[in-house]
Amino acid sequence: MSVFTVRNPGENRGRRRQDYNNQDKELDRQYIRMDENTADSIALMTNKHILRSLSPDMLSAHCTWCGINTPVIKRKQKYHCINDITTAVKKAPDKWAARTKAFTQKTDRLARQYNLTYEKYLTMLDDTNYSCGICDEPFTKDSPPHIDHNHVCCPGKQSCGECIRGLLCRMCNSGIGYFKDNAQNLVRASVYLTGV
């Protein structure tokens, strides 16, 4: 029979004495005798559900924390007390809830930022044949459509809804922004690129 001791708070050099809460102080003062009841006493001190007399075919065992024979569940190749909240089954995420949330966020952003209904947005997608209005690159999940609006009418990111010009890919929308929505700058860039 051997004795297992827990260090005194004064012996622990890595932490300050005031960092210990009441439970740690109580554990530090106790000496635990390592015999057949040690696992039970550790379970009572640490709130662990330790199973004894496991019967896998009956799916029951004696839980040291609950103090009774209790049903068990098997998770990750181990058996656990059914009353142990750490082994509670998590509810599977609802994929439709996530999609509904994403759709609601999209429609709210269209209404708030561009004063645009979702039906009008779908009509714009149909009109552009689901591709960019400048480069005809088709819209995909990785390259979604961006709403282009006239920044002379509504400077900034929000639009009144009347100055929306169309749907563009990210590169074309950024390019127009870098040319400061100025057609003369675009003509000069075209002349520069073609060398004419």
* pLDDT tens digits, one per residue of 45-103: 455 777 777 777 777 888 877 778 888 777 777 777 777 766 555 566 777 888 888 88
Do residue 82 and residue 104 come from a single domain? no
Q: Say how far apart CA 188 and CA 148 lie, in whole Å.
A: 21
**pLDDT confidence band for 133 (50 / 70 / 90):** very high
Q: Which residue has the higher pLDDT, 95 or 184?
A: 184
> Which stretch of DSSP H or E encloses residue 194?
helix 183-194
Do residue 110 and residue 178 come from a single domain? yes
Residues ≥6 apart with Cβ < 8 Å to 30: 6, 45
Structure confidence at residue 52 (pLDDT): 75
Do residue 99 and residue 74 come from a single domain? no
Residues ≥6 apart with Cβ < 8 Å to 23: none
Residues ≥6 apart with Cβ < 8 Å to 122: none
Do residue 37 and residue 61 come from a single domain? yes
Do residue 58 and residue 149 come from a single domain? no
pLDDT above 90: percentage of residues in the chain: 29
Beta bridge partners of 74: 79
Structure confidence at residue 30 (pLDDT): 44
Q: Say how far apart CA 99 and CA 126 lie, in whole Å.
A: 22
The domain boundary residue, chosen from 54, 87, 120: 87
Q: Say how far apart CA 37 and CA 60 lie, in whole Å.
A: 20
Q: By residue range, what is the domain housing residue 181?
A: 95-194
Do residue 103 and residue 168 come from a single domain? yes
* Interval 3-19 mean pLDDT: 50
Task: Please say whether the beta carbons of 145 and 139 come within 8 A.
Answer: yes
Domain CATH number, residue 182: 3.40.1800.10
β strands within the chain, DSSP E: 2-5, 31-34, 51-55, 60-63, 69-75, 78-81, 146-149, 164-168
Structure confidence at residue 36 (pLDDT): 43
Tens digits of per-residue pLDDT, 157-178? Answer: 888 888 899 999 999 999 998 9
Angle at 56 between CA 52 and CA 57, to 5 degrees: 135
Mean pLDDT across the chain, nearest whole number? 76
Number of domains the chain contains: 2
